[in-house]
């Protein structure tokens, strides 16, 4: 056992620093096992994948060895909520308890920071003429005087979806980088410099891939190079990565270019070029192009394996794309005429050229190695992406040859919009970078990078292939840590035998009837997860029209997720000692994960049907096709594991603490009648089965009595 292992084991033991200082901390075998595996990986380098069941305490299991090692580390999460929790709660608490001289930074994507240059231009944009915009801008300008970080989260009352948000924040497309007049005071750059000077940086997966994408282009790096990288909520890596590593062109990008050209042109070069005419030309071509994709209800994805997307009229599509290219070329000519006047025009010119290159890419046939499709809603979005991140990621996580201490850190720099001299000096002058080796001792494997991937759900079988294969981690060490919860005592599974098959028009109505029956007993405390928005609306409408008494029906989309979750947590139910009104929440998509309601506020999770990937999804189809070409079964090796992982995530909403009790209802009797149902059930925690409706109603009644477990 090396020094780091010893310190980790001591810290997590019953007499260790955590037991002495953190109220309620108790050693848990699963947590210690995971922490020791992380410790070994940090020490020796390599890749470790850990599926840690709910309640393991995985955050401390990776933070303790990483912080004690003293190595520079990135900790990446999928959501801003977990990012904030790590930065504001978990890491500061551990740093204090462990007494470590460690500097920690939080780094978000650039759209989360005020852009001083764009804020100064915002009053000239057409959006600023909208009602209330001047007042909101004045508020932002006042806040801008006092903020140290420029983090837009500090600014209350301005929603991310507001049309003012993009006017006062930047994108990679519109940032002027080192040519910007506000470059020295720029909040984005200051946040990155702070990250560069820190020992631990908390980021999110989007930022990680944004960095990877710009590194691949050879242009820049956004994040420090570190020895240890931890991905929490790692199950989302592949989908987020595929999005970033692909190429996209959208009518939104065209409309945003129009908006920025008009604002900049009219402010800095009025009368020199006919900005109105050029903008109107591009705007019209973008609208016509959207029309060429045809009329569709809601949002659809069109497959695109040949020269054109499926279902479009080829001549009309080609003409529309040609018109967009032509309008971009005319705009380019106008921008070139004034490019010497301000760096803003040079950046707009670069952006226009980049969009023309994208238009040329999508005028050509798709890359056979990837998948291409179009998303059609009120806007058009063309996407060509790799099928997974395996190639990009395996190259990245491959072991590197040992390097002398300091090499990896000093090569870590930012890109065109950061002053390299000041950063180099900053890092060289910072003694904290010596902390790691001092703490961990000479045994730490300097030169070997450690990659740790963790989540509560990374597959439905012990090899965790569902996660490792698309991420290119086939040679990673894999480990599963069981949840410490006693599912057999705390939870039960019911598959109603009497419901029609999903797809039957009566199915949603009968699911709603079952929920109403349960609500009459529980008085709330119920989460209904649907696989489609249609089912969500249908079940939500029926509950809203038929729910009687003291149950509030919440439906996804009524309020932001955080607000719905807060309301749900406050909810009571029958037998609530405080007389609080109970809640039922009907939701889809993002609520299958990250919805965390411990305690009695949630006791029943109803899933409408088995969450197989939607047929007709181009990415899913292309992946299935590749699996078939490899001689495997698209159903058994792709669709089924996808469904198993989603089901496990949905079911994971039910039991969130040692004292929770609850029932999972899956309204899809294929789980009982089809042979693959057994595999899906095996992927779930080991719950007691309720065989019939009477047993289900009886178990519901037990939940209202406060019994400590669900008896047979
Ligand atoms: S450098 Fe970019 S993000 Fe920073 S103020 Fe200038 S335009 Fe905005």
On average, the pLDDT of the chain sits at 87
Ligand 1 within 6 A of CB of 170: yes
pLDDT bucket at 696, cuts 50 / 70 / 90: very high
Please tell me the distance from the alpha carbon of residue 515 to that of residue 545, in angstroms, as a whole number.
13
Sole residue written with tokens 């990012």: 83
In percent, the amount of the chain with pLDDT more than 70 equals 89
Please tell me the distance from the alpha carbon of residue 640 to that of residue 466, in angstroms, as a whole number.
10
Its pTM stands at: 0.86
Helix 251-268 crosses helix 314-337 at what angle (to 10 degrees)? Answer: 20
DSSP letters spanning 374-413: EEESSSEEEEEEES-SHHHHHHHHS------TTHHHHT--
Ligand 1 within 6 A of CB of 116: yes
pLDDT bucket at 709, cuts 50 / 70 / 90: low
**Higher pLDDT residue, 35 or 111?**
35
pLDDT confidence of residue 331:
97
| Mean pLDDT of the 191-208 span | 93
- 644: in domain: yes
Radius of gyration of the chain (CA): 27
**Secondary structure letter of residue 606 according to DSSP:** E
Please tell me the distance from the alpha carbon of residue 511 to that of residue 537, in angstroms, as a whole number.
12
| Residue where a domain stops, chosen among 360, 386, 412 | 386
- The verdict on 375 and 501 lying in the same domain is no
Please tell me the distance from the alpha carbon of residue 51 to that of residue 41, in angstroms, as a whole number.
15
pLDDT digits (tens, 9 = 90+) for 365-381: 999 889 999 999 999 99
pLDDT bucket at 549, cuts 50 / 70 / 90: low
| Mean pLDDT of the 245-265 span | 93
- 38: in domain: no
Residue 422 token pair: 């000041």
pLDDT digits (tens, 9 = 90+) for 638-686: 999 999 999 999 999 999 999 999 999 999 999 999 999 999 999 999 9
Ligand 1 within 6 A of CB of 183: yes
Q: Is the pLDDT of residue 435 over 80?
A: no
pLDDT digits (tens, 9 = 90+) for 568-585: 888 766 666 666 678 999
| Mean pLDDT of the 94-111 span | 93
Ligand 1 within 6 A of CB of 176: yes
Give the 3-state secondary structure percentages of the chain, helix then strand then coil, rounded to 5. Answer: 50, 15, 35
Ligand 1 within 6 A of CB of 417: yes
pLDDT confidence of residue 349:
96
- 415: in domain: no
Which range, of 8-17, 87-96, 222-231, 517-526, averages the lowest pLDDT? 222-231
- The verdict on 645 and 520 lying in the same domain is yes
Measured CA to CA in angstroms, residue 592 lies from 274, 486, 652 at distances of 51, 22, 9
pLDDT confidence of residue 291:
95
Residue 560 CA to ligand 1 center (angstroms) comes to 30
pLDDT bucket at 614, cuts 50 / 70 / 90: confident
Would you call 695 exposed, middle or buried from its count of C-beta atoms within 10 A (0-12, 13-18, 19+)? middle
Which range, of 114-118, 190-194, 318-322, averages the lowest pLDDT? 190-194
Residue from 693, 580, 694, 676 nearest 637 by CA: 676
- The verdict on 355 and 491 lying in the same domain is no
Ligand 1 within 6 A of CB of 473: no
- The verdict on 522 and 373 lying in the same domain is no
| Residue where a domain stops, chosen among 329, 364, 386 | 386
- The verdict on 557 and 698 lying in the same domain is yes
Residue 212 token pair: 């990877």
- 238: in domain: no
- The verdict on 374 and 504 lying in the same domain is no
Please tell me the distance from the alpha carbon of residue 453 to that of residue 550, in angstroms, as a whole number.
44
- 149: in domain: no
- 695: in domain: yes
Query: In this structure, which residue's CA is closest to atom 6 in ligand 1?
Result: 180
Ligand 1 atom with the shortest distance to the CA of 117: 5
- The verdict on 505 and 371 lying in the same domain is no
pLDDT digits (tens, 9 = 90+) for 162-189: 888 999 999 888 898 888 999 999 999 9
Please tell me the distance from the alpha carbon of residue 481 to that of residue 411, in angstroms, as a whole number.
36
Q: Which domain does 256 fall in, by range?
A: 247-386
Most ligand 1 atoms within 8 A of CB, residue of 113, 149, 170 to mutate:
170
Ligand 1 within 6 A of CB of 168: no
| Mean pLDDT of the 257-271 span | 91
Q: Are 703 and 526 in contact (CB under 8 A)?
A: no
Measured CA to CA in angstroms, residue 507 lies from 26, 238, 298, 464, 502 at distances of 46, 33, 22, 33, 6
Most ligand 1 atoms within 8 A of CB, residue of 173, 417, 418 to mutate:
417
How many CB atoms sit inside 10 A of residue 156's CB? 7
| Mean pLDDT of the 287-314 span | 91
Please tell me the distance from the alpha carbon of residue 222 to that of residue 210, in angstroms, as a whole number.
8
- The verdict on 574 and 686 lying in the same domain is yes
Which range, of 41-55, 434-448, 452-466, 503-517, averages the lowest pLDDT? 434-448
pLDDT confidence of residue 590:
83
Ligand 1 within 6 A of CB of 263: no
pLDDT digits (tens, 9 = 90+) for 588-612: 988 998 888 888 889 999 999 999 9
pLDDT bucket at 86, cuts 50 / 70 / 90: very high
Q: Are 666 and 607 in contact (CB under 8 A)?
A: yes
Q: Is the pLDDT of residue 616 over 90?
A: no
Would you call 129 exposed, middle or buried from its count of C-beta atoms within 10 A (0-12, 13-18, 19+)? exposed
pLDDT bucket at 220, cuts 50 / 70 / 90: low
pLDDT confidence of residue 559:
83
- The verdict on 260 and 382 lying in the same domain is yes
Q: Is the pLDDT of residue 144 over 90?
A: yes
- The verdict on 528 and 657 lying in the same domain is yes
pLDDT bucket at 142, cuts 50 / 70 / 90: very high
pLDDT confidence of residue 32:
97
Query: In this structure, which residue's CA is closest to atom 4 in ligand 1?
Result: 186
Q: Tell me, what CATH number does 373's domain have?
A: 1.10.275
Ligand 1 within 6 A of CB of 180: yes
Q: Is the pLDDT of residue 516 over 90?
A: yes
Q: Is the pLDDT of residue 443 over 50?
A: no
Tell me how long the chain is: 712
Taking the CA of residue 567 as centre, how many other CA atoms within 13 Å lie in the half-sphere pointing to its CB? 21
Per DSSP, helices labelled H in 217-250 are: 237-245
Please tell me the distance from the alpha carbon of residue 252 to that of residue 378, in angstroms, as a whole number.
10
Ligand 1 within 6 A of CB of 117: yes
Ligand 1 within 6 A of CB of 264: no
Most ligand 1 atoms within 8 A of CB, residue of 107, 108, 112, 118 to mutate:
118
| Mean pLDDT of the 488-498 span | 95
Q: Is the pLDDT of residue 207 over 80?
A: yes
**Secondary structure letter of residue 55 according to DSSP:** T
pLDDT confidence of residue 130:
80
Please tell me the distance from the alpha carbon of residue 446 to that of residue 432, in angstroms, as a whole number.
16
∠ CA 175-395-371 to the nearest 5 degrees? 70
Ligand 1 within 6 A of CB of 414: no
- The verdict on 700 and 553 lying in the same domain is yes
pLDDT confidence of residue 434:
30
Q: Tell me, what CATH number does 572's domain have?
A: 3.40.50.300
| Residue where a domain stops, chosen among 343, 364, 386 | 386
- 583: in domain: yes
Q: Are 226 and 408 in contact (CB under 8 A)?
A: yes
Ligand 1 atom with the shortest distance to the CA of 113: 3
Ligand 1 atom with the shortest distance to the CA of 177: 1
Ligand 1 within 6 A of CB of 201: no
Q: Is the pLDDT of residue 213 over 80?
A: no
Ligand 1 within 6 A of CB of 115: yes
pLDDT confidence of residue 217:
55
Residue 179 CA to ligand 1 center (angstroms) comes to 9
Ligand 1 within 6 A of CB of 122: no
Residue 345 CA to ligand 1 center (angstroms) comes to 14
Which range, of 28-32, 140-144, 170-174, averages the lowest pLDDT? 170-174
How many domains does the chain fold into?
Answer: 2
- The verdict on 358 and 503 lying in the same domain is no
φ, ψ at 472 (rounded to 5°): 65, 35
pLDDT digits (tens, 9 = 90+) for 267-295: 899 999 999 999 999 999 999 999 999 98
Helix 420-428 crosses helix 187-196 at what angle (to 10 degrees)? Answer: 30
- 341: in domain: yes
Ligand 1 within 6 A of CB of 525: no
pLDDT bucket at 410, cuts 50 / 70 / 90: very low
Per DSSP, helices labelled H in 616-710 are: 618-629, 634, 640-651, 670-673, 675-682, 693-705
Which range, of 433-437, 473-477, 640-644, 696-700, averages the lowest pLDDT? 433-437
Residue 183 CA to ligand 1 center (angstroms) comes to 6
Residue 80 CA to ligand 1 center (angstroms) comes to 22
Ligand 1 within 6 A of CB of 119: no
Residue 380 CA to ligand 1 center (angstroms) comes to 28
pLDDT confidence of residue 400:
55
Q: Which of 126-130, 234-238, 501-505, 592-596 has the highest mean pLDDT?
A: 234-238
Residue 381 CA to ligand 1 center (angstroms) comes to 26
The 3-class secondary structure across 64-94, one letter per residue, is HHHHHHCCCEEEEECCHHHHHHHHHHHHHHH
């Amino acid at each position: 056992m090396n020094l780091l292992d010893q310190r980790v084991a001591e810290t997590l033991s019953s007499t260790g620093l955590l037991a002495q200082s953190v109220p309620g901390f108790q050693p848990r075998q699963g947590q210690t096992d995971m922490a020791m595996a992380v410790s070994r990986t940090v020490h020796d380098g390599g890749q470790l994948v850990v599926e840690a069941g709910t309640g393991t305490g995985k955050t401390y299991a990776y933070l303790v060895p990483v912080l004690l090692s003293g190595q520079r580390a990135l900790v990446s999460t999928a959501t801003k909520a977990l990012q904030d929790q790590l930065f504001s709660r978990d890491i500061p608490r551990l740093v204090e308890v462990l007494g470590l001289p460690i500097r920690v930074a939080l780094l978000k994507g650039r759209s989360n920071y005020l852009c001083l240059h764009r804020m100064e231009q915002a009053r000239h944009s057409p959006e600023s003429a909208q009602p209330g915009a001047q007042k909101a801008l004045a508020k932002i300008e006042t806040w801008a005087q006092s903020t140290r970080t420029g983090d837009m989260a500090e600014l209350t009352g301005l929603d991310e979806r507001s049309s003012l948000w993009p006017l006062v924040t930047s994108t990679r497309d519109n940032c002027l980088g080192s040519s910007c007049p506000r470059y020295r005071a720029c909040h984005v750059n200051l946040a990155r410099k702070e990250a560069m000077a820190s020992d631990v940086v908390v980021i999110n997966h989007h930022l990680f891939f944004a960095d990877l994408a710009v590194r691949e282009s050879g242009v820049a790096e956004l994040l420090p190079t570190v020895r240890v990288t931890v991905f929490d909520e790692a199950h989302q890596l592949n989908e987020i990565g595929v999005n970033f590593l692909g190429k996209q062109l959208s009518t939104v990008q065209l409309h945003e270019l129009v908006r920025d050209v008009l604002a900049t042109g009219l402010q800095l070069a009025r009368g020199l070029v006919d900005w109105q005419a050029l903008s109107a030309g591009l705007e019209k071509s973008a609208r016509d192009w959207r029309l060429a994709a045809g009329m569709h209800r809601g949002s659809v994805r069109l497959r695109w394996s040949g020269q054109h997307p499926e279902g479009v009229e080829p001549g009309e599509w080609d003409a529309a794309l040609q018109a967009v290219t032509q309008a971009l070329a005319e705009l380019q000519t106008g921008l070139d005429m004034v490019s010497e006047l301000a760096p803003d025009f040079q950046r707009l010119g670069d952006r226009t050229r980049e969009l023309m290159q994208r238009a040329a890419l999508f005028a050509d046939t798709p890359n056979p190695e990837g998948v291409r499709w179009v998303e059609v809603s009120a806007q058009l979005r063309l996407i060509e992406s790799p099928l997974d991140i395996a190639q990009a990621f395996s190259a990245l996580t491959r072991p590197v040859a040992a390097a002398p201490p300091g090499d990896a850190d000093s090569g870590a720099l930012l890109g065109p919009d950061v002053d390299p001299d000041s950063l180099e000096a900053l890092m060289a002058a910072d003694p904290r970078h010596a902390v790691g080796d001092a703490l961990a001792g000479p045994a730490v494997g300097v030169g070997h990078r450690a990659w740790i991937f963790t989540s509560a759900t990374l597959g439905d079988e012990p090899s965790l292939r569902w996660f490792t294969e698309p991420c290119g981690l086939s040679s990673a060490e894999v480990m599963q840590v069981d949840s410490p919860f006693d599912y057999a005592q705390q939870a039960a599974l019911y598959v109603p035998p009497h419901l029609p098959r999903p797809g039957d028009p009566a199915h949603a109505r009968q699911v709603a009837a079952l929920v109403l029956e349960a609500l009459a007993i529980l008085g709330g405390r119920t989460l209904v997860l649907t696989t489609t928005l249609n089912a969500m609306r249908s079940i939500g409408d029926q509950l809203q029209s038929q729910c009687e008494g003291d149950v509030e029906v919440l439906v996804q989309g009524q309020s932001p997720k955080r607000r719905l979750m807060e309301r749900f947590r406050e909810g009571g139910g029958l037998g609530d000692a405080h007389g609080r009104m109970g809640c039922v929440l009907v939701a889809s998509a993002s609520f299958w994960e990250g919805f965390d309601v411990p305690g009695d506020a949630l006791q029943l999770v109803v899933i409408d049907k088995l969450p197989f990937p939607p047929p007709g999804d181009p990415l899913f189809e292309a992946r299935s096709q590749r699996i078939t070409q490899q001689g495997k079964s698209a159903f058994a090796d792709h669709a089924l594991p996808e469904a198993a992982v989603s089901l496990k995530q949905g079911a994971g909403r039910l039991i969130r603490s040692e004292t929770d009790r609850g029932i999972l209802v899956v309204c899809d009797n294929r789980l009982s009648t089809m042979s693959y149902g057994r595999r899906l059930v095996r992927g779930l925690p080991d719950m007691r089965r309720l065989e019939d409706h009477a047993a289900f109603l009886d178990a519901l009644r037990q939940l209202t009595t406060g019994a400590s477990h669900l008896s047979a």
